[in-house]
Amino acid sequence: IIQKETLSEDDKTKLISVLSKLPTKDLISLLGDDFKNYKENNIRWDYDYGLFKEFLYYIHNRQGIRQIIKSFNESGNWMKNLCPTKTFLKFLKEKQIQLEPSSKEDKPNIIQDQIEEINKFASVITKVVDNNIINTVIKTLILKNPRKYNAYDIKKWFFLSDVSTRNQLKRMFTETEYQKYIRTQTHVTITIIKEIAKKKGGKCHTKNIKNAKSRLHLECAEGHHFFPSYDSVVYQKTWCPQCNIYVSETICRKFFEKIFKKPFPKSYLDWLINENGNQMELDGYNKDLGLAFEYQGIQHRKKAFDKTVEELHKIQREDAHKLKLCNENNMILFQIPDDEILPYNKMQEFIEEEYKKRTGKTLKNIPKYDYHEFSIYENEFAKKFRDYIELKKGTIITPYFSARKEITLRCKEGHQWTTTPNSVYKDNWCPGCAGNMKGTTEFFRKIGKEFNCDLISEYINAKTSLLYECPEGHKFKKSPYWLKKDKEKIKFLCPDCKMDIFAKKFQNFIRKKGAHLLTPYKGRSKPVTIKCKNNHVRETTPGAVYQGNSCQSCKK
């Protein structure tokens, strides 16, 4: 279009559409001024190279213009997104700096190449065109290292391949601002999800993902399966909805039972039927008091847990219908909002105020309850942890939520402190006792006896390996943390005895086929040399033999 003799209105529209993708509005306004100057549409690019002469030359000769950029920045100006603006052009004029265009023969190729490059470049820049965070960081780096960076480094900055930029972002801005920026730049990968799941003690059953909106199949440490989006897990830090809802509902029930001194079990009443004729439930109900509560998780007020808009509206209709039925049957129903709106430490106050509003009565002499002291649930993980604490003669003060959630403990000396189950498993015990761990050596000696092995060293700490000796005289080391964490999964304590057992098993297996093992067995995937019944010698692995791999010479 630019090389045409004249520009039609349609040409102008198309040209503006292309140029509007540039990362600065100043260039567009500059283009507008030029159109006013050339009302007769007599722009002839072959002779008049002024429209974007400076800009094209700037990109084409970026190596030679760095010192000019440095001077421009040091004068108190800033080249937004590293593009020349009117201020920059004015600066060049004041300093009497002439930017000579390339040769006339190169102009058509330069124009075509640079417009293509601008379009690619602009598609990336527009992602953060109004992002002051990245602009500030780039400005800082340019001023500190004017010879090191050029305009095209911004491409890798946008995708955070530059570690110094990423670290500088973390230092300069809040976590929320940083995560908001990262969300638009980081490439999605299933590896991130697998790492998060591993840290939370869960599993990722999804193998591949396409983008941040992709659905995942995850399993939490409690065995619940759920299907969140990549975005919600990585950026919104959400996890298993069932665990969260169960704990919240149970905390809510505990508050009602403490305040009213009555049980509030989950209930199904004959008249509590939805519009489709299906039975509805109440999270908690006491017949004597005529009170009920419904804990309304986040899925009651907005799309969550893979729910569609239609499903959200259905939930909200059922909530309204349930409230109507309770009113018609002279029951007071408390609808408790989720913990984003009503934190646990404000729940008691909310219940008491709501009771006064609904009944006109004030609850008196009600002590202030701490939800941390509630006994929530005792699953297999909680029971395992409780057994371990009892072995140390300690006491659990606050409920067990998960291995990574804080919990308050008390040692046998009466010291109380807050930690996490994971930390305790690593032998980080009472700080008040300052490492007084009597009885710990006996604990590991007992584990050894279960496998007929003797502990021949003393326990020092979780990082120092313990030395055992098996009945065959093999001496070996084991990690205290591994022994405690995986005690139930251990089948063989001595690695040498374990290897001997598997070696005998493999030898018996190949003897039945008439073959002989010529080299020692070192593991299922380690190479071994075998002689078949026809005296052919081959190298293979025990794993391959178990899977049916046989002598190729015999087959021939």
- What pLDDT, on the 0 to 100 scale, is given for residue 61? 45
List pLDDT tens digits, range 10-68: 766 665 555 545 444 444 444 444 333 433 333 333 323 343 444 444 444 444 455 66
Q: Are 551 and 536 in contact (CB under 8 A)?
A: yes
| pLDDT attached to residue 353 | 92
Q: Is residue 28 domain-shared with residue 114, that is, in the same domain?
A: yes
Same domain, 517 and 422: no
Q: What pLDDT was estimated at residue 115?
A: 46
pLDDT at site 534: 86
Predicted pLDDT at 180 = 62
Place of tokens 């004029």: 93
Range of the domain at 529: 497-555
Q: Are residues 183 and 159 in contact, defined by beta-carbon separation less than 8 angstroms?
A: no
- Classify residue 537: in a domain, yes or no: yes
Write the DSSP string, 310-368. Answer: HHHHHHHHHHHHHHHHHHHTT-EEEEEPPTTTS-GGGHHHHHHHHHHHHHS----SPPP
28 plus 126 within the same structural domain: yes
Give the pLDDT score at 57. Answer: 45
Q: Is residue 204 part of a domain?
A: yes
Burial of 494 (0-12, 13-18, 19+ CB in 10 A): buried
Low-confidence ranges of the chain (pLDDT < 50): 20, 22-64, 80-82, 101-115, 117-130, 150-152, 155, 158-161, 435-439
Residue 359 shares a structural domain with residue 389: no
| 31 in the same domain as 117 | yes
Pair 28, 63 in one domain: yes
Q: Which two tokens mark 545? A: 């033999």
Domains of the chain: total: 6
Q: In the prediction, which pLDDT does 285 show? A: 92
Q: What is the DSSP string of 13-81?
A: HHHHHHHTTSS-HHHHHHHHHHHHHTTT----TTT---SSHHHHHHHHTGGGGHHHHHHHHHTT---GG
pLDDT at 44: 32
CATH code where residue 279 lies: 3.40.960
- Predicted local confidence at residue 109, as pLDDT: 44
The predicted pLDDT at position 25 comes to 41
Predicted pLDDT at 68 = 65
pLDDT tens for 498-519 read 888 888 888 888 888 888 888 8
